[in-house]
């Protein structure tokens, strides 16, 4: 027996006090209010802040889209957030991530050979941040050698933000 979602989903358009937050979500996400946001709408301040932060991470950083999507997929794997993995698989393909890399991110680092140096570096950082929280100095030195300070902040923020997303989804049992 599968568990149900642990909070009620707010049907868009049913609460006038949420109209402004819903309009922002629709504008940033192409008109749709996904199940994740329907759960978040239980708290208007959280939904609003979440949308602002995640929009910045998704759409306003200089991180190449393929690296961003590999980070998101890897976080989803590590945190057992199947909903997030499935939601971002099409984004990864659109960003140019091959089907073989999408499959290999599930078993990284066992299948590290097909990844570029940058991909391996961000996946290693993702594993450190997600599994261990503390990032080994050698990994951070390589990050700082490869990316400028803005890039380092944006990659680290992407890993951190999608850990938040995946942990929210898993905690509330949002799996479809």
**pLDDT tens profile 3-50:** 799 999 999 999 999 999 999 999 998 888 999 999 999 999 999 999
Q: What is the DSSP string of 29-97?
A: HTT---HHHHHHTTSHHHHHHHHHHHHHHHHSS-S-HHHHHHHHHHHHHHTT-HHHHHHHHHHHHHTT-
Number of structural domains, the chain? Answer: 2
In a domain? residue 1 = no
Q: Write the CB contacts of 13 (distance below 8 Å, at least 6 apart in sequence).
A: 19, 22
Do 48 and 97 lie in a common domain?
A: no
Stronger pLDDT, 111 or 74, i.e. the higher one: 74
**pLDDT tens profile 102-115:** 999 999 998 888 99
Q: Which residues of 73-105 are buried (b: 16+ CB within 10 A; e: fewer)?
A: bbbbbbbebbbbbebbbebbeeeebeeebbebb
pTM given for the model: 0.94
Q: Is the pLDDT of residue 60 over 50?
A: yes
Do 107 and 128 lie in a common domain?
A: yes
Task: Give dist(CA 83, CA 60) in Å, integer.
Answer: 23
In a domain? residue 96 = yes
Do 50 and 127 lie in a common domain?
A: no
In a domain? residue 3 = no
**pLDDT tens profile 75-103:** 999 999 999 999 999 999 999 999 999 99
Alpha helices in 117-148 (DSSP H): 117-127, 137-146
- pLDDT for 74 equals 98
Q: Is the pLDDT of residue 131 over 70?
A: yes
In a domain? residue 7 = no
Res. 1 pLDDT band, cuts 50 70 90? very low
Do 44 and 130 lie in a common domain?
A: no
Do 73 and 138 lie in a common domain?
A: yes
Q: Is the pLDDT of residue 117 over 80?
A: yes
Do 163 and 125 lie in a common domain?
A: yes
Give the range of the structural domain holding residue 162, as residue numbers without chain letter.
Answer: 65-171
The CATH number for 128's domain is 1.20.1290.10
Is-contact 72 93, C-beta < 8 A? no
In a domain? residue 109 = yes
Q: Is the pLDDT of residue 2 over 60?
A: no
Task: Give dist(CA 123, CA 91) in Å, integer.
Answer: 17
Is-contact 39 9, C-beta < 8 A? yes
Task: Give dist(CA 158, CA 164) in Å, integer.
Answer: 10
Do 97 and 158 lie in a common domain?
A: yes
């Amino acid at each position: 027996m599968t568990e149900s979602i642990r909070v009620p989903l707010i049907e868009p358009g049913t609460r006038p006090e949420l109209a402004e937050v819903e309009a922002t979500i629709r504008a940033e996400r192409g008109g749709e209010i996904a199940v994740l946001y329907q759960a978040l709408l239980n708290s208007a301040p959280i939904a609003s802040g979440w949308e602002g932060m995640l929009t910045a991470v998704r759409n306003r950083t200089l991180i190449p889209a393929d690296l961003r999507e590999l980070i998101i997929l890897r976080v989803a794997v590590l945190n057992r957030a199947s909903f997030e993995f499935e939601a971002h698989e099409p984004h990864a393909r659109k960003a140019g991530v091959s089907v073989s890399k999408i499959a290999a991110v599930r078993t990284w680092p066992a299948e590290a050979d097909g990844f570029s140096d940058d991909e391996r570096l961000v996946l290693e950082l993702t594993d450190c941040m997600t599994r261990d929280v503390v990032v080994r100095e050698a990994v951070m030195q390589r990050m700082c050698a490869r990316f400028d300070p803005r890039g380092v902040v944006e990659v680290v923020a992407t890993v951190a933000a999608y850990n938040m997303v995946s942990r929210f989804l898993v905690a509330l049992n949002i799996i479809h």
